[in-house]
Structure 1
């Protein structure tokens, strides 16, 4: 059974400055944002939500820092 834990990925050569990313499953994105699956994809289609990163033929993940930035933007622009 797949884990619901975020996946941490480190990109870059050992001698260069690597970039570290945390990849989130859709269920984790739903939990963090309170959005449904259909709302996530609808907002993405409108350019109002971060898009997924393909990691395999039938698998995608979202970058945690992009989801956190989207949430922060919503908090910053609340009335």
Structure 2
């Protein structure tokens, strides 16, 4: 089984997520963003599939709001 691909903080920007580290941490604490994975002291990444699911959920939220309006 292949290891999950990780996305660095810088890599989040390529996926359209331009939030600060503090904003991400706050969202994570409220369970509104995927949890980080500590890869080394002071370095964190996110599991790519979880980030993709987060983006897909945000698109679905948007679409549901458009239908309800």
Bucket of the pairwise TM-score, normalised by the shorter protein: 0.7 to 0.9
2:20 is the counterpart of 1:36 = yes
Paired residues of 1:30 and 1:36 also in contact (CA < 8 A)? no
TM-score by length of 2: 0.76
Return the match for 1:75 from 56, 59, 64: 59
Report the Cα offset of residue 40 of structure 1: 1.0
Counterpart in the other structure of 2:30:
46
2:6 is the counterpart of 1:23 = yes
> For 1:50 and 1:68, how far apart are their aligned partners in 2?
10
Cα distance 1:31–1:38, how it changes in 2: closer, same or farther (>3 A)? Answer: farther
Unaligned runs of 5+ in 1: 1-17
> For 2:44 and 2:20, how far apart are their aligned partners in 1?
16
The structure with more strand, counted as a fraction of residues: 1
The structure with more helix, counted as a fraction of residues: 2
